[in-house]
Amino acid sequence: MKIVAICGAGIGTSGILKVSAERALQKLGIDAEVSATDVGSIRTDADDAQVILTSAEHVDSIGRTFADVIVIDNILDQDELTRKLEAALA
């Protein structure tokens, strides 16, 4: 399974989401590859992703995708991310 976290520059928010997703997946016992990228690279970096993690302001930039797009309201809320990943992957 491939999960991609995106943000504007591919460094800040997406990096935090990547680390948080790895923690959540470990807690849930789910094996997945998690990467972070910028919005401009979404077509190449997330073309085969099953899940895309992002904040609300980047949803329109994602465009058409077969991935489940999970919008995280508070990137520092580990419980929110865990709940949303669990719901999407169950």
Domain boundary assignment for the chain: 2-79
pLDDT, one tens digit per residue, over 45-61 is 888 999 999 999 988 88
The pLDDT score that the predictor gives to residue 50 is: 93
Closest CA to 51 of 9, 12, 76, 28: 28
Asked if residues 4 and 33 have their Cβ atoms less than 8 Å apart, the reply is no
Residue with tokens 């085969």: 48
The pLDDT score that the predictor gives to residue 8 is: 83
pLDDT, one tens digit per residue, over 3-60 is 999 988 767 889 999 999 999 999 999 999 999 998 888 888 888 999 999 999 988 8
Query: Can you tell me the distance from the alpha carbon of 90 to that of 88, in angstroms, rounded to the nearest whole number?
Result: 6
Q: Which two tokens stand for residue 24?
A: 């959540």
* CATH architecture type of domain 2-79: 3-Layer(aba) Sandwich (3.40)
Helix or strand or coil: residue 11? Answer: coil
